[in-house]
């Protein structure tokens, strides 16, 4: 029974939304929105292209940072094993290498985070582009329905 009420409440909202542009006088507003949405779409497509072009650079940096972190961890481990049987200077060196390894690991994590953020940005742009394309399609349908209501006698004659 609650589903019925939800559906009953949705129908008036849908019809109100779809009735924004109804007649010929509304075509100016419709065209204005069409241009606005088209400009947003072009802007989003440009941003998407830039984000997609930047992604390989982020991925390369993340791969390099991961490799550096692995190398630093290996060197730190080797130095730590020397320090267990060595003297104080070996222990200090092991500590320095452990700190370097930790810093490299943080850099690797940060680089991977940037890659993930860039992929999320690309996904967001694609979603927004799809929404704008759908709105343009809706506006085309509305424009066609308005033009279909106009008597053909009132349309300007095209010269042939």
**Inside any domain, residue 71:** yes
pLDDT (tens digit, 9 = 90+) per residue, 121-145?
A: 999 999 999 999 999 999 999 988 8
Measured distance CA(115)–CA(121) in Å, rounded = 10
Rounded average pLDDT over 60-67: 91
Instruction: Look over the chain and give the mean of its residue pLDDT values, rounded to a whole number.
Output: 82
Q: For 42-69, b where at least 16 C-beta lie within 10 A, e where not — what string?
A: eebbebbeebeeebeebbebbeebbebb
**Residue 56 included in any domain:** yes
Which pLDDT value is given to residue 12?
A: 47
Who has greater pLDDT, 94 or 58? 58
Please, what sign has the CA dihedral across residues 31, 34, 38, 44? positive
pLDDT mean over 9-13:
48
* pTM, to two decimals: 0.70
Mean pLDDT over 106-120 rounds to 92
Which residues form the domain of 98? 27-144
* pLDDT (0 to 100) of residue 150: 76
- Give the chain's domain count: 1
Residue 111 CB coordination number (10 Å): 21
Is residue 70 assigned to a domain?
yes
| Rounded Cα–Cα distance for residues 43 and 32 (Å) | 17
In a domain, 52, yes or no: yes
Q: Does residue 69 register a pLDDT over 50?
A: yes
Residue 14 lies in a domain: no
- Report whether pLDDT(19) > 70: no
């Amino acid at each position: 029974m609650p589903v019925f009420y939800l559906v009953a409440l949705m129908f008036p909202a849908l019809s109100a939304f779809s009735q924004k542009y109804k007649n010929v006088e509304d075509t100016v507003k419709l065209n204005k929105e069409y241009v606005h949405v088209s400009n947003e779409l072009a802007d989003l497509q440009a941003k998407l292209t830039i984000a997609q072009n930047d992604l390989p650079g982020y991925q390369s940096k993340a791969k390099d940072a991961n490799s550096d972190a692995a190398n630093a961890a290996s060197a730190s481990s080797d130095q730590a094993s020397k320090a267990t049987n060595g003297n104080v200077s070996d222990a200090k060196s092991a500590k320095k290498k452990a700190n370097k390894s930790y810093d490299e690991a943080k850099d690797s994590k940060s680089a991977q985070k940037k890659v993930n953020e860039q992929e999320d940005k690309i996904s967001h742009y694609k979603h927004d582009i799809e929404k704008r394309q759908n709105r343009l399609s809706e506006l085309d349908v509305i424009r066609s329905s308005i033009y279909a209501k106009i008597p053909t006698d009132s349309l300007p004659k095209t010269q042939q």
